[in-house]
């Protein structure tokens, strides 16, 4: 679909064309700084549908009618190609203020006559239908409402011993690895942390009482590390969060499930949630568990965290007064259809 009013030349970017922005050398470096050559090469690059990474990150995102709806904060690379742009903004095409992954199949890059780059969304994205490894939107399921509609907020928190479980939150989860990252799988731990940080907003940046938030915790080993990583806000240092991962807290959470009679096997991590928060450690606690043992890429992890946010966190009727077993079982079946039988389970 084309724009409804003139916006300059509209350039459709293919996956391969988009990937070129991440590897193309800066125009100035090719021209040795000559302004005339810089201008000439910039015009030539525009004609070839080429854009530099620095032009796309932070670029304004607009809808088909030119209304501003956010900006590009990150890109998801899968199999050597950019599969999605991660967009953050206010009310995003009817979706509450949030981050959403928009497939490159649904965007156009537009350069106005004065050289300003904009990202034009051709179709409305679904808040938790991110781009799967094959480049297509994942199936839509569930009826998650926006923050403003249900008064609940999906947030994250890096927490140390003594800070976990966090108090006063409506419900909470934890990303629990059974072992620290090894040199052979550190990249995987980093990918999962990056997806976690990209989807869930920092708790202290969401202006709402903790009783209106469901928090998902990434444990770290000490309070100084927690303070430093949380202070980074939207772009935490996942290298620090992985290298100083709070294995003691993670094992404690996994042990709680095992003491309640549940087998917790696999390399994890396990995305575990309790509702209400007072249930952690109770022998009869009901735990919702998502097994990420088969997750190997950042794009796959992003899918799961986006679906976690939409299907679970933003559906407070599942957990507001403790788990609604009937409704959670529906979510479990939907996730089984989407990801396979082993992905989500209700530990009763």
List Cα–Cα distances, 171 to 57, 161, 268, 274, 333, in angstroms. Answer: 33, 18, 21, 6, 22
Beta strand pairing call for 153-159 and 201-202: parallel
The rounded distance, in Å, linking the Cα atoms of 271 and 329 is: 17
Q: CB within 8 A of 213, min separation 6: which ones?
A: 152, 153, 154, 155, 169, 170, 203, 206
pLDDT tens-digit series, residues 40-86: 555 554 554 577 777 888 887 876 655 667 788 888 777 777 777 88
196 has pLDDT over 90 = yes
Read off the tokens for 60: 């304004």
What confidence category does residue 98 fall into, taking pLDDT thresholds of 50, 70 and 90? low
The rounded distance, in Å, linking the Cα atoms of 306 and 199 is: 6
pLDDT of residue 179: 97
Q: What single-letter DSSP state applies at residue 73? A: E
pLDDT of residue 100: 73
The rounded distance, in Å, linking the Cα atoms of 165 and 215 is: 10
Give DSSP secondary structure letters for 95-118: BPSEEEEEEGGGEEEEE-TTS-EE
The domain spans of the chain are 9-121, 147-347
pLDDT of residue 117: 78
Pick the CATH number of 9-121 from 2.20.130.10, 1.10.240.10, 2.60.40.10, 2.30.30.240: 2.30.30.240
Full-model pTM: 0.60
Q: How many C-beta atoms surround the C-beta of residue 172 within 10 A? A: 25
């Amino acid at each position: 679909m084309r724009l409804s009013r003139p916006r300059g030349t509209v350039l459709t970017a293919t996956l391969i064309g988009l990937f070129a922005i991440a590897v193309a050398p800066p125009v100035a470096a090719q021209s040795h700084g000559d302004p005339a050559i810089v201008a000439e090469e910039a015009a030539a690059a525009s004609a070839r549908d080429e854009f530099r990474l620095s032009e796309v990150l932070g670029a304004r995102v607009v809808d088909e009618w030119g209304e501003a709806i956010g900006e590009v904060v990150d890109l998801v690379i899968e199999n050597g190609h950019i599969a999605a742009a991660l967009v953050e903004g206010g009310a995003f095409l009817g979706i509450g203020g949030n981050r959403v992954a928009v497939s490159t199949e649904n965007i156009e890059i537009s350069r106005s006559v004065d050289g300003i780059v904009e990202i034009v969304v051709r179709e409305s994205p679904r808040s938790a239908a991110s781009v799967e490894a094959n480049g297509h939107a994942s199936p839509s399921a569930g009826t998650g409402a926006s923050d403003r509609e249900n008064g609940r907020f999906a947030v994250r928190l890096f927490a140390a011993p003594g800070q976990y479980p966090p108090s006063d939150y409506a419900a909470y989860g934890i990303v629990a690895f059974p072992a620290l990252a090894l040199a052979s799988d550190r990249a995987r731990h980093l990918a999962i942390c990056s997806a976690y940080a990209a989807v869930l907003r920092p708790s202290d940046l969401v202006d709402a009482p903790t009783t209106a938030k469901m928090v998902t915790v990434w444990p770290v080993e000490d309070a100084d590390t927690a303070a430093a990583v949380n202070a980074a806000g939207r772009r935490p240092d996942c290298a620090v969060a992985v290298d100083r991962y709070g294995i003691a807290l993670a094992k404690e959470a996994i042990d709680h499930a095992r003491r309640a009679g549940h087998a917790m096997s696999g390399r994890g991590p396990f995305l575990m949630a309790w509702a209400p928060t007072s249930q952690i450690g109770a022998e009869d606690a009901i735990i919702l568990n998502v097994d990420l043992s088969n997750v190997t890429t950042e794009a796959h992890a992003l899918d799961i965290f986006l679906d976690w946010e939409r299907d679970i966190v933003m559906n407070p009727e599942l957990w507001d007064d403790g788990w609604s077993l009937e409704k959670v079982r529906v979510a479990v079946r939907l996730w089984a259809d989407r990801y396979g039988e082993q992905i989500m389970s209700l530990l009763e």
